[in-house]
Amino acid sequence: MRFERIGREPDYSRYMDLKEGWLDRRIFSDADIYEEELYRIFARSWLFVAHESQIPNSGDFLTTHMGEDAVIVARQPDGSIRVMLNSCPHRGNKVCFADAGNTRRFVCNYHGWGFDTAGELKGMHEEYCYDAGDIDYKNHGLKNVAKVGSYKGLVFATFNGDAPSLEAWLGDFRWYLDMILDNEEGGTEFIGGCIKSVMSANWKFGVENFIGDAYHAGWTHDSGCRSMNDGMPFPPIDMQNSYHASVNGHGWEFGTEGVGDLVLLGRPKVMEYYNKIRPKMAERLGEMRSKIFGSVASASIFPNVSFLPGISTFRQWQPKGPMQFELKTWVIVNKNMPDDIKDEVTKGVMQTFGPGGTFEMDDGENWENCTTVNRGVVTRHERLHYRCGIGRQIEHDTLPGIVYRGQYNDANQRGFYQRWLDMMTHDEFGKMPARPEPQLGNVAETRDLPGLFAL
């Protein structure tokens, strides 16, 4: 699936100098830049579309967006998953209006064109009005995306037939992802449905906040933290034993104390559960990853998925223009977790990072103000500072990726915008540099890694 662009092709490198540590504010409000993002990033990247637990049975479906393109995600009779445009090829009307459900057919409200769960056209209202040769059923189904892939329960799709495999897209970041997706036998699931909210902010502010901005937490979230934890302030950061790690625009910032985020969740039973399984987690993933999990941490998968591994909120920033996004939020838990602990996690997520959560409201206000203020006709020409920790890159004997010491850092943010620049600049994936070169090779399971990475 290829896309021909007609219009300007500016030099996007002029909008940032990441070696010097600055960004041009216009990338957060310029309509032309946003339009190019839809083509160059969202139409070419692997995008998260579902968790397998949301569509376990044949005929199960949900609707979502890939960029601004509406899509249907449907489980097939053979167990595979199809992703297709939620737009009738007759006049373009939205075919499915439900958020989720189970069905044998999708039928357009406008003229009654009906499609099976694979998107194939099966019939329409007053079918007799079409003469022989008027319509080719095989070529007038719902357009399927180019590729669909799954990694340990997370389902991704891409419109780009030339995209690398999903495993290559995630690359060495799988080592970090397995801390949330594979810390216990049985994998994970989404529970409690999806919460949707709309913010008047640019989608990148949410992603960059979760990919590396631990710095804001002790100030922005101080009152919320104290209200949740008997007046105790935000846990102190150990700058010698905390890190930023980036892989091709994906990023995870974290401590190694194992408890910070679990404390912030404010649910003692959840802390007890993870402390109980931590020795087995160490056996499964290695000592280092068992120490990282539960620490103050946040992460993002390029381009627009984020999560807090210890707090169990999983979210996607869906772009709705340069100055608005829809935030979709789920609760992710271990499938084998006892039901009462799942309930405790859900309550904790809603009290912290739900739409009315003590922390979520703080962030939303900041992102909206960053977006609106940055677009001032004079203000937009001033540079933004992204130099924090710029000289702290290290070689670590256990952690894969581009690693910087100290959680208070802009390293992962710089890594995210570097991949943004790569996508906006290069027409072919093969011409984009690996950042960094893969270290883990073709290992299918990070649990099986030999040597230092297994520590």
Selected catalytic residue, list 125, 216, 381, 427: 216
Selected catalytic residue, list 116, 182, 213, 261: 213
**Per DSSP, what are the bridge partners of residue 299?**
252, 307
Report how far residue 440's alpha carbon sits from residue 330's, in angstroms, rounded to the nearest whole number: 30
Helix (H) / strand (E) containing 176: helix 174-181
Look up 111 and say whether it is catalytic: yes
Residue 330: partners with Cβ closer than 8 Å, 6 or more residues away: 51, 190, 191, 192, 193, 194, 195, 313, 314, 315
Nearest to 345 by CA among 206, 211, 191: 191
Residue 218: partners with Cβ closer than 8 Å, 6 or more residues away: 233, 234, 237
Q: Omega into 436 within 30° of 0, i.e. cis? A: yes
Q: Is 66 helix (H, G, I), strand (E, B) or coil?
A: strand
Report how far residue 403's alpha carbon sits from residue 368's, in angstroms, rounded to the nearest whole number: 30
Between the two ends of the chain, the Cα-to-Cα distance in Å is: 42
The CA R_g of the chain, rounded to the nearest whole Å, is: 22
Backbone angles phi, psi at 197, to 5 degrees: -145, 155
Look up 221 and say whether it is catalytic: yes
Q: Which amino acid is at 332?
A: I
Selected catalytic residue, list 32, 111, 222, 427: 111
Q: What counts of helices (H) and strands (E) characterise the chain?
A: 12, 22
Look up 222 and say whether it is catalytic: no
Helix (H) / strand (E) containing 74: strand 69-75
Polymer length in residues for the chain = 455
* DSSP structural state of residue 256: S
Sheet holding 313-319, edge to edge: 188-199, 325-334, 313-319, 305-308, 297-301, 250-254, 243-247, 402-405, 393-394
Look up 427 and say whether it is catalytic: no
Q: Is 26 helix (H, G, I), strand (E, B) or coil?
A: helix
Selected catalytic residue, list 221, 250, 362, 410: 221
Helix (H) / strand (E) containing 394: strand 393-394
Look up 216 and say whether it is catalytic: yes
Selected catalytic residue, list 24, 60, 172, 363: 363
Q: Omega into 279 within 30° of 0, i.e. cis? A: no
Contacts of residues 340-345 at CB distance under 8 Å and 24 or more positions apart, as own/partner, are 340/269, 341/269, 341/270, 341/273, 342/191, 344/267, 344/269, 344/270, 345/265, 345/267, 345/270, 345/312
CB 310 within 8 A of CB 270: no
Catalytic sites, residue numbers: 111, 213, 216, 221, 363
